[in-house]
Amino acid sequence: MKIEEQPTTVIAVAHLIGRVEQFRKGGFRLVQMNATQVGDEFEINYSFEKDYRFENLRLIIPAETEVPSISGMYWGAFVYENEMHDLFGIAVKGMNIDFNGNFIRTKVRYPFRNPTFQGEGPCQRK
């Protein structure tokens, strides 16, 4: 049995701000944003909720595409946008607080983009 329905709508980058504005005006809260690398592309999910109704917007973009920030509508989005930049190297334009790559300090630049596994122990080599 499904706990809840989770509709996802794939949209173009050009429509992102307009669609997020609709959620904002509709009284939805921003639950999370996340990125997934699928081949040479990134899927970026924007999750919203109102009265336990959970909905997602999805961008599918080439790796070097710049995406607009939604922090003008959802102020708290800066944590997710800086995280996406620091871990995946996704360029986000217009963030209200831009840490310029210093929000999450990692030894490896953009570690979640084509991650490598170094220093593995014996149990991983089985």
* Contact positions vs another protein (CB under 8 A): 1-4, 6, 29-32, 34, 36-38, 45, 47, 52, 54, 56, 74-76, 78-79, 83, 86, 97, 99, 102-106, 111-112, 115, 117, 120, 124
Q: Whose Cβ is closer to another protein: residue 14's or residue 81's?
A: 81
Measure the CA–CA gap between 68 and 87, rounded to whole angstroms: 17
Nearer to another protein, 14 or 107 (CB): 107
* Beta carbon nearer to another protein, 14 or 51: 51
| DSSP conformation letters of 7-66 | -EEEE-GGGHHHHHHHHHHTTPEEEEEEEEEETTEEEEEEEEEETTEEEEEEEEEETT--
